Amino acid sequence: MSGRPLDVLEASLDERVTVRLKSGEEYVGDLSGYDQHMNLVLDDVTIPADSGPEEEPPIEDTTIIRGDNVVSITP
C-alpha cells in the first residue's frame, strides 16, 4: 500500500475504518466515498463504546464528515 493519503483511502473503500475528529470523537463505519479534500462518506456508522471492545448499534445509515475536521483515518 502506498503512503499517499488518497491512495490509502482508495484501498480502504468499502472497508471498515475508524475516523478520529479534532473534537476527540471517533466514528467507525464503512468508507463508501471520499474526495480530494478528504471529505468522507461512511455507511453503517457507530460510535465506539468507551469501555470494552464492543461497539454500539449503528447510529446512522450514512454520514458525511468534512475533511477539515479529520485528524486520523485508520483502515
Q: Does the pLDDT at position 54 exceed 70? A: no
pLDDT grade for 68, boundaries at 50, 70 and 90: very high
Write out the three cell numbers for 32: 463508501
CATH code reported for the domain at 5-74: 2.30.30.100
pTM exceeds 0.85 for this model: no
Q: Does the pLDDT at position 51 exceed 50? A: no
Domain boundaries, the chain: 5-74
pLDDT given for residue 57 in this prediction: 67
Q: How far apart are CA 36 and CA 51, in angstroms?
A: 35
